Amino acid sequence: MTLAKIVYASMTGNTEEIADIVAEAFENLDIEVEINECTQVDPEDFEDADICVVATYTYGDGELPDEIVDFYEELQEIDLSGKTYGVCGSGDTFYDDFCKSVDDFDAVFTKIGAVKGAESVKVDLAAEEEDIQNLEAFAKKLSEAVK
């Protein structure tokens, strides 16, 4: 069975909700899901997954959340060649660097050899109906990329 591993960082609950929406979409596609908060896992855990997903928020003026910095730095040290990945997250369009952390993780996955399975999904604050549809389509596209 295909395994999707989702690692998330969430302060207000918005990004955890985004991760949960993606997880449920994977489950509806008969994909096994492991979902963990970023301080509870190591990047090497992605080595066992078929689909690697990071869901993160962007803090302030484009900064990574403090709690995901170690994960981000350690992720750059492993080889995920051939693994399918996707990145999603939340931000606030009030800031110039809207969802920059999503782009930062996208760049790292590419650098370590992973293959982008779906375009990143960026959500303004909390997921609304259109965002939920985009996240479900994101999960579907990722699942199709590994088949």
Give per-residue pLDDT as tens, 58-116.
Answer: 998 899 999 999 999 999 999 999 999 999 999 999 999 999 999 999 999 999 999 99
Give per-residue pLDDT as tens, 16-74.
Answer: 999 999 999 999 999 999 999 999 999 999 999 999 999 999 998 899 999 999 999 99
pTM of the predicted model, to two decimals?
0.97
Q: In CATH, what number is assigned to the domain containing residue 75?
A: 3.40.50.360
The domain in which residue 120 lies consists of: 3-145
DSSP strands (E only) in 47-83: 51-57
Question: Residue 39 and residue 85: Cα distance in Å, rounded?
Answer: 19
pLDDT at 9: 98
Pairing of strands 84-91, 32-37: unpaired
**What are phi and psi for residue 103, nearest 5 degrees?**
-65, -35
The Cα diameter of the chain in Å comes to 41
How many distinct structural domains can be found in the chain? 1
pLDDT at 60: 86
pLDDT at 147: 72
pLDDT at 58: 97
Pairing of strands 84-91, 51-57: parallel
* HSE toward the beta carbon, residue 49, CA cutoff 13 A: 27
